Structure formats: C-alpha cells, structure tokens
Chains A and B, each alone.
Chain A
Amino acid sequence: MRVVADRNACSGAGQCVLAAPDLFDQDDAEGLVVLLRSPDAAEAETVREAVSLCPSGTLHLQE
C-alpha cells in the first residue's frame, strides 16, 4: 500500500495528522502535509480513514 500526498491541493486542515499522527505531519513553513514514512500493512485502516477525512482531496491511496 502506498499513500500519495499532493501538496498543491493541501489546505492544511490537519485531519490526517489527527487520524494518523505517526504517518502525517504539517511543515513549519506553510502548515501543509508531510508524509513521515510509508504505512505498513497493519495501518491500512488508519490510512483509509485519513484519506476519507481529508477535506481537500490531497491524499490518494495506491493499493
């Protein structure tokens, strides 16, 4: 499973950081999404939740 973040679309709502703080963060300069690492298989459900909560369509899942 791979998760892709389109920073041009990101509105910095931080929903992904709430859903999966081990995988996502926001940078200090602009507050936009940063991928901390690739999710492992056990985190699939959490990642799906983060993708569905994103209000700007920034996150995409490639399974």
Chain B
Amino acid sequence: MPEPDEPTVPKSGGDRAGNLRFPMERPDAPFDPPPEYARLRAEEPVADATLADGRKVLLISRYDDVKSTLRDPRVSSDLRKPGCPVPGGGPPLPEGAPHPCFRTDPPEHTIYKKLLLPDFTVRKVNGMKPRIREIVRGVLDDMAGAGGPVDLNAAVAVPVPSLVICELLGVPYADHEFFQERTAVPLNRSSTPVEVKAAMTDLWDYLARLLAVKRADPGDDILSKLAASQAEERDAVASAIAVLNGGHETTVNMISLGTAVLLERPGVLAELRADPGLWPGAVDELLRYLSIGDLSVARAALDTMEIGGRTVHAGEGMFLLVGAANRDADAFPDPDEFDVRRPRHRHIAFGHGMHQCIGQHLARAELEIVFAELFGRFPGLRLAVPASELSFKKDSHVYGLRSLPVEW
C-alpha cells in the first residue's frame, strides 16, 4: 500500500535522455540500493542528475572514485559553498541559518575536530562499553516487562542512542526523560510538523541553557568543550544538535533495520550465537550492506578537477553514493551477498577522508552491544507482522524502518 507521504519520483529514476532524478526510488527489495546504481557504476560512474527543485548535481558511484574524491582537498562539505547540495537533496538552507561546525573546511574544521576527537577514539569508546551495556540491559528489561508484541523501534532503537548521547553531551540524569521524549518526536511517524518543530525548539533552548551552565561549571563532556571553544553560542548549540543528529537517527535506523536483516537469516543468527566473536564483523557487514547514509554525503567542487575521467568545475555539487560504492564488485566480491566474514573495515558507510564519521567507533560499539544483548536475551525474537507489511522510510535521507513490531 503506498504511503501518503511517499515522494513522487519516476519508477525508473529518470528518462533515457540521461535526465536522472535524485534521490531515486528505492526498490521493492527493501535492503538493497536502487537498481539504477548498478548501471551507473558500469556505464556512467560520474552521472548528471536533477534534484526535485531543478538544481543539477553529479552522482559518483564507483568505490575508488568515491574514496579518492572524499580524500581530495578540492572538494568541500561546507553547505555555504556555491553548489553544495544539502544531504538528501532537499531545499537549500536559508541564508544565515546556523551552521554546524563539522561541515567546514580546514583550518576551521581542524579546530573543532581536535576539540571533539579525544571523546571518540577507539580507546575512549572501549572505556564506555560497560556503561553502554548497562543502558542496553535497562532498556531490554523494560521491553521484557512490557511483554510482546512491541515496536522495537520505540522500545529499543530510539532510547539506546538517545541515552548514550546524554552521557556524551553531559545531559544531567534528571533531564534524561525530557531529552529522550523530545529526541523521539522527529522519529515518530505520527508526529505532526508542528510537534516536530516544537520539540526541536525545546531541545535548542534546553541545550543553549545547558551550555551556559557548563560554561560556568564545566564537566568532562562535549557541551563543556563547546562552551569553552571559540564557537559563537548558536554555532555551539548547532554543533551539539549535529552530534545528536549524527549519532541518533543513524544508530536508531541501524538497530531496527539490522535486526530485520538478521531476523530474515536464522542460519546467520545461529552462527552468531555459537561464536559471539563474529558480532563485530556482522555489524560492519550490516553497515556496508544497508549503507543508510547513502543520500547524505554531499559535496561541492572548489576547483577544476577530474573525477573518474570527467572534468568537474568549481561550484558543481555532487553526491558520493556510498550505497553504490559499498556494492561495487571491484571492491567487494559478491557485493549483494550478506557475509559476516568479509574483511571488516573496507566499507565506506561512515564516509571517508577528513569528514569520515567521528562517531563511528561509538556506533559500532552500540550496535554490537545492542544486537548481542537483544538476541541473547530474546532467543525466540521474531517479527510480529508478515515481512511484507513492514513500512520503510523511503522519503527520508537516512534510510530506516518506520516501526518494527516484534514478539518473542
């Protein structure tokens, strides 16, 4: 049944005159990228496409081209640069809108990266794992107490990353419920635009107040660091919101989509139960296979350069299709197979180059712990509706499930 809010894009993704529309429609096979991506990789690795508002962008689809472009200092992720499309290909940000410090070029980017990076290193995240496990077990206790069937999205996928981000940002325990409630609103399909705007305004005001508190009385957390940095207040709040956005919706969607993929594969689940050492590989394979940030990697050329044999000019905008690159047979043998024993870290689901996701190790840790604890605690976990009735976020720039009804 079609969703009322489904975008009206042509079924093929464009006409034959090379007039590709972007984003393209997802296929009926809900865990695969648009079928057109295979043709782009083979025939048009740097393709022209048109956004809904008529602006032109380039689509880069081969693994090697995507990686080398993301490492090239002549491309910018700064949304204020001429030609830079916004993630998802929606309308441009209004002039003077708050701009997250992450979407900048060096040397500005380097300042913020060095400020926040020490909180996201492999070692730091390893130190957070016991606390993440505690959070996950608490959430699963609540789920067990509620009894099935439950929506795994609302019961597990939304609260876990929200609570982890509370820890990172330095949101006091007493405010966790407020923070969780507000962060859940944009992810709830029954929320109205007015409710979403009100929740985001609440969060903005709350973080601005907390930033002032941290300025006077700093702790060992990200808000305190932003408060002590050179960032103007609204940029500091925008950056805190970016940490929230970067670490929340993405992890939420990976938890529920990943659970759905694994529930379809009882053989893989049996292997994972027999050898929990396979979980890290399974998480990286889910990241590659699903590539939920496929529409998010937007850049602009700052200079004339060559990409995949084509000349690209300053001011041209582009999307680096990590979902296409992660299914490139030149980089991944049998790319459409789900194989938890692949070499782990070659995929670029977290992007590549200096803007590669700062939270990638945290995301891996959250996913490993959530999946291992979930399938360990509920060995009989199963869908509570036929798989054909699952509803996917086809119109969102971060792909995901609208809900995941499960029982056990």
Contacts and interface: CB of A to CB of B under 8 A. Distances in A.
Interface string B88-127: 0000000000000000000000000110011011110000
Given A14-B122, A31-B120, A19 B353 contact: no
B345 A11 contact: no
B118 A29 contact: yes
B121 A31 contact: yes
B353 A53 contact: no
Contacts of B70: 55
Given A11-B354, A31-B114, A53 B345 contact: yes
Q: From DSSP, what is the main secondary structure of chain A's interface residues?
A: loop
Contacts of A28: 118, 121
Interface residues of A, number: 22
Interface in A17-40: 17-19, 21, 25-32
Given A18-B122, A18-B345, A31-B120, A56 B353 contact: yes
Contacts of A14: 120-122, 360-361
Given A18-B345, A26-B123, A57-B71, A13 B360 contact: yes
A55 B345 contact: no
A56 B114 CA distance: 15
Contacts of B215: none
A55 B122 contact: no
B122 A30 contact: no
Nearest to B357: A13
A12 B353 contact: no
B117 to A, nearest CB: 3
A26 B122 contact: yes
A59 B246 CA distance: 27
A18 B343 CA distance: 12
B345 A19 contact: yes
B123 A13 contact: no
Contact of B122 (A11, A17, A32, A57): A17
Contacts of B123: 17, 25-26
A53 to B, nearest CB: 5
B352 interface: yes
A31 B354 CA distance: 13
Nearest to A19: B345
11 contacts: A11-B354, A12-B120, A14-B121, A14-B122, A14-B360, A17-B123, A19-B345, A26-B123, A32-B114, A55-B71, A55-B356
Interface of B: 70-71, 113-114, 117-118, 120-123, 343-346, 352-354, 356, 358, 360-361
